[in-house]
Every structure is written in C-alpha cells, then in structure tokens.
Amino acid sequence: MKFYDFLDKAPAIGRLVIVEGVERVFAERALATIVERQLAPAERDLNLERISATELDGFSRVEAAVAALPFLGATRVVVVRNAHELRAESRRALVAVTETVPEGNTLVIEDLVSPGSKRPEPIGKLVGARVALRIDTTPSADARERYLRELLTELGATMEPAALAALIRSESELASVRTDVEKLALGGTKISLADVVRESLVTEDVRAYQYASAAAAGRTAEALTLAAELFGSDPRGAAVPMLAALAQEYGYVWELARPGGSLPSRARWRERDLQTVARRLGERRARLGFERAVRGFEAVVTGRADDPRVVVELATAAGADAGRR
C-alpha cells in the first residue's frame, strides 16, 4: 500500500506492519500515524516501546516486548527502527519474531528498502502480504507533488508552476527539499524557479557539475563533450540536471562578481576557481548566464522546448561568447 493510500484509506492495523520504501519523511509520518491510531495519548507511555534494531545483540527483547500484555489499555505497540541496516542473518531472526506477535498487539518494523529490492530482500516480502500491512514510502511524482502542495499551504507560500515541476522531478530527499522550501518561504510568499534552482536542485551525477563548471569557464568543447555523454537515450532527462547545475554554477559566479558577495558554505571549497571565472565574466555577464540557464531549464521542464539538446548547446555556447565580449 502506498503511503498516501495508507493515510487516506485508514486500513485496519493488525499484528504486523512493515514501513518500507526509501523516503524517510513519509516513513516518520507513517510511524507517527500508526501510533496515533492504535494508542490514545494517555496510553502511550504505558503501551508503546521503541527499539533500534542496530542496538540489539539478539531479538529476545523484541519478542518479550510484543508478548507483554497491554497495561490499562486494549493494545500494545512495539516499533523496531532501522531494520534496513541489519545483515541477512539478523533480518531472518527478526522475521521469526514476527510470527510470535499475539492477537491484539502490534509490531511495527521500519525497513527502508525498496519493495522490489533483491538484496536485501524486504522483510515485508519475507513475511508475506497476508501477514503484514506493508506501507511503501517510495515517492511517486504524484506523491511528491501532493507533499509539496501541502507544505506550501502549511507555510502560507506559493510557487511558480515551473519551480514546482522542478522540485517534483528533483532527486533530492524530501527532508532536504522541505528545509530549502522553508528557507525560501522566509524571503517571500512567492517562490520562483530562480529561487529553487539557486537553493534546492541537486543531482547525483557528478558529470552534470563537471559539465556546468566547464561551460561557465568557457571551455566549450569540453562541456559539449560531457553533454553528449550525458544525453544518451534520454535527452530531456539529461538536460534537466545539466541546466540546473549550470544555473547553480552561474549563480555562484554572479554572487562572487557582486560587491560584497559570498558563497554558501557548501560551495566555499571552490571559491578560488569560481573567483577566476567571476573576474572573467563580471557581474552582468554572470547574471545573464544564470538567467539564460534558468530560462532553458524552465523550457525543458515545462515541455516547451522541442529539442532539449539545442537548449543545452545554446546555454553552453553562451559561456564562451560572454568571455569574448
């Protein structure tokens, strides 16, 4: 069962629940929701036990906890965190404990691996769907969009459609996205695509950053070679992280080119190289490079660009043109 289906449909919670998938923000909320539904606030101190699987030598403590009778209540809840960090032998031992949970009590296991994982094999798959309620926290695009819209409502902020689309497609964990959006909301209630590109977008492929560094520095041939390697069979999918990285690179250079400008802490290790590019381009050209990359990013994300390759190539060539002016 997907995370939001669990929230919306409120299925019955039986003896065993497995919280799986890869998104910690959803996992934390799922765990809190289970406790809220199973135990009244006055009963939680007496009938709730939280145990970290990685701190155990064996599972006798878990077995004893789930076997205990509820105290002045109808049920007892035992939450085992971090099962995804266990080795295969320990995972099998924990599966054996799931067979001992008496009717009326609930064992909740946090096993943050993909439901389709082969290694490690998910505990939910090992125990079987008929035995456990399995809650998959892996976020789909629809789930990311819902989460972001709820977050914006909570913050009393709005976001440009292209900025929202960029965050939906982002590879960033939702905890990181939340921190960035909260920070951006402090600066104003309308969050722009440029804000999001500067603050939040990241990619796991280091080649996108290598491309951006080469392009902003005017090493056009090197940048285009890297871009060609990245395009592969999915030009649109590759263009998004490249243009995001390029906008971020120009944003750093623009900041250094401005009087009194300074880099964010995560980029200060590159200050010497970025200062060289800032002196070469100057404030106006760095700003133009940033704006051009953001416009290209928006065109690709929103589908207005027919050929993402052309957008990337034009943005790449602009770095060399700026340096010759």
CATH numbers and ranges of domains, the chain:
3-136 (3.40.50.300), 141-199 (1.10.8), 206-324 (1.20.272.10)
Burial of 107 (0-12, 13-18, 19+ CB in 10 A): buried
Q: Give pLDDT tens digits for 167-196.
A: 998 878 899 899 989 988 987 778 999 888
Whether residue 324 is predicted with pLDDT greater than 70 in this model: the reply is no
Q: Give pLDDT tens digits for 202-245.
A: 777 889 999 999 999 999 999 999 999 999 878 888 998 999 99
d(CA 89, CA 28): 26
| Tokens standing for residue 212 | 């951006």
Contact 192, 160 (CB under 8 A): yes
Q: Give pLDDT tens digits for 97-150.
A: 999 999 999 999 999 999 988 889 999 998 876 789 999 999 999 999 999 999
Compute CA distances 281 → 113, 199, 286, 315, 323, whole Å. Answer: 46, 22, 6, 15, 6
In terms of Cα–Cα distance, which of 251, 258, 247 is closest to 282?
258
d(CA 302, CA 299): 5
Strands 48-52 and 106-110, how do they pair?
unpaired
Residues in the chain: 325
| Tokens standing for residue 245 | 């990285």
In terms of Cα–Cα distance, which of 278, 119, 254 is closest to 198?
254
d(CA 170, CA 162): 12
Strand partners, 50: 79
